[in-house]
Structure 1
Amino acid sequence: MELSTMSLAVADAVATVTLTRGPALNTMNKAFWTELIEVFDAIAADMSIRAVVIASTGKHFTAGLDLGLAAEGLGGPPGDPGRAREAFRRHIHAMQRTFTVVDKCRVPVIAAIQGGCIGGGVDFVTACDLRVGTADCFFTIQEINLAIVADVGTLQRIPHLLPQGLIRELAYTGRKFGAAEAKSYGFLNRVEPDHAAAVASAQALAAEIAAKSPLAIAGIKAVLDHGRDHSIDDGLEYVALWNAAMLQGEDVPAAVGAQMRRETARFGDLNG
């Protein structure tokens, strides 16, 4: 797999996806939108992977969508305006899929964020399970500053992470949402002093998750995701069915036995 905007490395059951266009502020150019899908397809196919860390390079995590690409999309082909707008709708759906594959990844995804996380960067990290940031990191729902309605995931996912009043303020004003404020609302799980410490903290979280039963982690993520758009009663029935099906495996006896012996349990990978 040849990549120009990011790299993928796998070690000790943790996949690390690193944005590599630091000098260009990791702006999301045309290649980014397909490469992230390719990378997460590869992660989905590798059953040895039990957690993912998203890291970056340079001063900022990402400055968001490449403005040249944005202008190209708004122009549209000549001819019938109805057909042009229908094509643009499909273009938006294709971009939405890039972050949907992150959201639907079978294993937890942890973002390590330094500096600015702007526009499409917020779409990206709200599709992740956990977020670790540097003390100087900040988030901006930048689209309002470009007279655009954010359309690739932020406005759909952030209501599950922040209070409505705050979301509306951030979306309406495009102001910076800094690390201390983000931590106070639980948007950031941890705040670290610098970039290296944030990545190390994310890797430590990933390693801790990777040591747990991958079957149980998959179940927890599936049940939590199901609960985002279902009632409590629906969610209770879903988890009952999940456990009725999945608790017959070898992981529960292994975990209970290890607890009784005060040892660390070891769990096999999921089947491919």
Structure 2
Amino acid sequence: MEEKYKTVQILQKSQNSGVFHLILNRPSVRNALSLDFFAEFPKALHALDQNPNAAVIILSGSGDHFCAGIDLKSLNVIAGDHSGDRGRSGERLRKKIKFMQDAITAIERCRKPVIAAIHGACIGGGIDIVTACDVRYCTKDAIFSVKEVDLAITADLGTLQRLPRIVGFGNAMELALTGRRFSGEEAKELGLVSRVFGSNEELMEGVRIIAEGIGGKSPLAVRGTKEVLVRSREMSLEQGLDYVATWNSSMLLSDDLTEAISAQIHKRKPLFAKL
């Protein structure tokens, strides 16, 4: 029986499609991230990762916004635990932060590509989420902000580590120190998103088409491409080349390769086994 979640929802809009939707589902609070979210989100991603029918995941927000950041009530709960001595309270806080970080990193651990479809506000924790995604698209009226500095917090769920690799160190420093809002068009100029759509309807349809295209490719090749790119960020060029050589020595000689070549020769659409 499919698990029910309080903060997210999984949808397969077409039974014949390998595209699944993972939706942040607290629209009444602009999809602010509660403590429940950090427990449920990695579980939902793991379920999709293990589902052989899921080839690509589109991550979006219900209602008028993608994500307003961490729920301030949850932040008060986290910050308000000062019981015991300073060392032990600090250790408990560190454990909570690591737990929340792990929930966001689950996006990168997922074997299936995760595409962020961003509309409305994408603030604070929303930036943490989308910077962990594999591809990002947004609407022209989307609003972004690395907001933590205005809440007297050093952003700690991944933005300060991932954003500089996407938009460059100087741009990330400026956005994180000022906490200023920036538009979907500026997000495109910075390289945070790959394309800007005119409306949420256009965004979801455009991202669906892109996801269907990725979902029609070899699952082994798609998984390998994501894995090698994510791992290579931490490696030198030589180490990255060695890693992909090792990966392909294990994965290259597959039925997918034979099927892809046959499809090219006979000018037909390839049919790959599920992963």
The Cα offsets for residues 63-85 of structure 1, whole Å up to 9 and x where unpaired, read as: 11000110111111422111001
2:267 maps to what in 1?
262
CA distance in 2, matches of 1:72, 1:23: 20
Extract unaligned runs of 5+ from structure 2. Answer: none
Does structure 2 retain, via aligned residues, the 8 Å contact 1:132–1:201? no
Tell me, which stretches of 5 or more residues in structure 1 are unaligned? Answer: none
- Choose which of 242, 245, 266 in structure 1 pairs with 2:250: 245
The AA in structure 1 aligned to 2:137 is V
* Number of residue pairs the alignment of both structures matches: 270
Conservation of the 8 A alpha-carbon contact between 2:164 and 2:171: no
Counterpart selection for 1:4 from 3, 6, 10: 6
Match of 2:46 in 1: 41
Q: 2:30 maps to which residue?
A: 25
Identity among equivalent positions (%) equals 39
Any conservation in 1 of the 2:30–2:66 contact (CA below 8 Å)?
Answer: yes
Match of 1:150, SS state, is: coil
* Correspondence 1:223 to 2:228: yes
Higher alpha-carbon deviation: 39-48 or 226-235: 39-48
State the 1:189 CA deviation: 1.2
SS of equivalent residue, structure 1 residue 265 = coil
In structure 2, the residue corresponding to 1:65 is in which secondary structure?
A: coil
In 2, distance between residues paired with 1:174 and 1:249?
A: 48
RMSD over equivalenced CA pairs, Å: 1.0
CA distance in 2, matches of 1:224, 1:13: 22
Q: Give the counterpart letter for 2:105 in structure 1.
A: T
Amino acid at match of 1:31: D
Other-structure match for 1:232: 237
Structure 2: how far apart are the matches of 1:240 and 1:206? 27
Equivalent position amino acid for 2:274 in 1: D
Shift of 1:48: 2.0
In the alignment, the residues of structure 2 paired with residue 185 and residue 24 of structure 1 have an alpha-carbon distance, to the nearest angstrom, of 28
**In structure 2, what is the Cα distance between the partners aligned to 1:167 and 1:185?**
9
1:180 to 169, 181, 185: 185
**Per the alignment, in what secondary structure is the counterpart of residue 207 of structure 1?**
helix
Structure 2 residue aligned with 1:196: 201
* TM-score, normalised via structure 2 length: 0.96
Match in the other structure for 1:59: 64
Q: 2:144 aligns with which of 131, 139, 154?
A: 139
User: Matches of 2:207 and 2:133 in 1, distance apart?
Assistant: 12
CA distance in 2 between partners of 1:104 and 1:139 (Å): 25
Q: TM-score normalized by structure 1?
A: 0.97
Separation in 2 of the partners of 1:91 and 1:186? 31
Q: Which runs of 4+ in 1 moved over 6 A?
A: none
Aligned to 2:120: 115
* Alpha-carbon separation, structure 1, partners of 2:57 and 2:232: 22
Separation of aligned partners in 1, 2:80 and 2:231:
38
Task: Determine the C-alpha separation between the residues in 2 that align with 1:251 and 1:237.
Answer: 22
Q: In 1, Cα distance between the equivalents of 2:176 and 2:191? A: 18
The Cα shift of 1:182 comes to 1.1
1:169 aligns with 2:171: no
Is the 1:52–1:109 contact (alpha carbons within 8 Å) kept by the matching residues of 2?
yes
> Residue 105 of structure 1 is aligned with which of 93, 110, 119?
110
